[in-house]
Amino acid sequence: MKTFTEIRALREHLQAERLAAAGKGKNLRIALVPSMGYLHEGHASLLRKARAENDFLVLSVFVNPIQFGPNEDFERYPRDAEKDLALAEREGVDAVFMPSVEEMYPRPTRTKVKVAELTERLCGATRPGHFDGVTTVVSKLFHIVQPDRAYFGQKDAQQVAVIAQMTEDLNFAVEIVPCPIVREPDGLALSSRNVYLSPEERKAALVLSRSLLQAQEKARGGGPVTAGEIRADVIQAIGAEPLAVIDYVEITNFPGLSPLAEAGRLDEKSREADVLIAVAVKFGTTRLIDNVILTKKGMA
Ligand code: AMP
């Protein structure tokens, strides 16, 4: 495994690897897993899938300042390069890209990549500019690495929808591969931000997966059920937890992210598209997100 902090050195290495493969008559399939580090089993699951499906695996670790708002946690976002490198090595990563902020943004950024509409709802409504930061850095990573496939977690379902739209709109020659959410045994979705939670908040946060699982079961139950009913159930369950402050509970189609009408049917037989039930909830100063996707065929 090689570690790179400079764009030029990484590019040269990838080019050499591509040429070496071509010399043997092979086309090197390159995978990219973008991350902000402080890696956990969620990241590891992306790396494993990417490792299994490609010839060369690049992991980027970069806490991207331009996707954080002025009052967000950029400065205190957890970082542990040593542990990240150990996990990457264990998962068979070929190249880790760990640039400094100056390497990625040597000058003030005057160019942004912006996906319209999909970024205005859900997390975009509470975190203005967040997705512009994400799509800008992911575009830069796509240009630098030129991967054949890039792997993203459904934990950030809106991010998957936004990146897929960007990739299509801008003709990036990259296949976007969504990967399932990895959870703790008690249901909490893994997140680098879980370290911020106090023991009480950690316990309270279980209400997210619990209420989403209940919603999923109700939709699978066979009887008729509407988006309005399910949304009310989830709001009530989370609202009953004293430490939880709801940012949003939304039910939309997926990946279009258009809100479903209150009367829109969620039961398996009536679902006309994949449906996303997404929540963002604050526990103290920590904002957590979670979701479930009910597939059109009921395979979620
Ligand atoms: P982050 O480092 O938080 O930017 O996440 C990097 C990638 O890992 C993103 O594509 C996330 O969606 C994905 N990821 C984070 N947490 C999980 C999880 N619990 N399960 C699956 N993927 C995850």
Among residues 40, 43, 130, 143, the one annotated as catalytic is: 43
* Other residues' Cβ atoms within 10 Å of the Cβ of residue 233: 16
Q: Is the pLDDT of residue 272 over 90?
A: no
The average pLDDT across 41-57 equals 98
- For 37-66, letters b (16+ CB in 10 Å) and e give bbbbebbbbbbbbbbeebebbbbbbbbbbb
User: Distance between terminal CA atoms of the chain?
Assistant: 35
Helix-strand-coil split of the chain, %, nearest 5: 40, 20, 35
Q: Which residues lie across from 175 on neighbouring strands?
A: 149
How many angstroms separate the alpha carbon of residue 262 from the centre of ligand 1?
30
Q: Is the pLDDT of residue 268 over 50?
A: yes
Q: Is the pLDDT of residue 39 over 50?
A: yes
What atom of ligand 1 comes closest to residue 180's alpha carbon?
Answer: 21
Please report the pLDDT score of residue 278 as a whole number.
98
pLDDT class of 269 with cuts at 50, 70, 90: confident
Q: Report the residue among 33, 35, 83, 93 best suited for mutation to probe ligand 1: largest number of ligand atoms under 8 A from its CB.
A: 35
The average pLDDT across 168-172 equals 98
pLDDT class of 267 with cuts at 50, 70, 90: confident
pLDDT class of 4 with cuts at 50, 70, 90: very high
The average pLDDT across 22-36 equals 98
Please report the pLDDT score of residue 297 as a whole number.
67
- Indicate the DSSP class of residue 223: S
Please report the pLDDT score of residue 177 as a whole number.
98
pLDDT digits (tens, 9 = 90+) for 80-135: 999 999 999 999 999 999 999 999 999 988 999 999 999 999 999 999 999 999 99
Q: What is the pTM of this model?
A: 0.97
How many angstroms separate the alpha carbon of residue 100 from the centre of ligand 1?
21
Please report the pLDDT score of residue 192 as a whole number.
96
pLDDT class of 270 with cuts at 50, 70, 90: confident
Q: Report the residue among 155, 190, 286, 289 best suited for mutation to probe ligand 1: largest number of ligand atoms under 8 A from its CB.
A: 155
The average pLDDT across 171-181 equals 98
Strands (E) located in the chain = 2-4, 30-35, 56-61, 95-97, 149-153, 175-179, 244-254, 274-283, 286-294
How many angstroms separate the alpha carbon of residue 180 from the centre of ligand 1?
10
- For 261-270, letters b (16+ CB in 10 Å) and e give eeebbbbbee
pLDDT digits (tens, 9 = 90+) for 60-81: 999 999 999 999 999 999 999 9
Backbone angles phi, psi at 183, to 5 degrees: -120, 155
Backbone angles phi, psi at 287, to 5 degrees: -100, 120
Of 60, 146, 51, nearest to 103 by C-alpha is: 60
Question: For residue 165, what are the contacts with CB-CB under 8 A and spacing of at least 6?
Answer: 115, 118, 255
The average pLDDT across 147-168 equals 98
Asked if 181 contacts 153 with a C-beta cutoff of 8 angstroms, the reply is: yes
What atom of ligand 1 comes closest to residue 183's alpha carbon?
Answer: 19
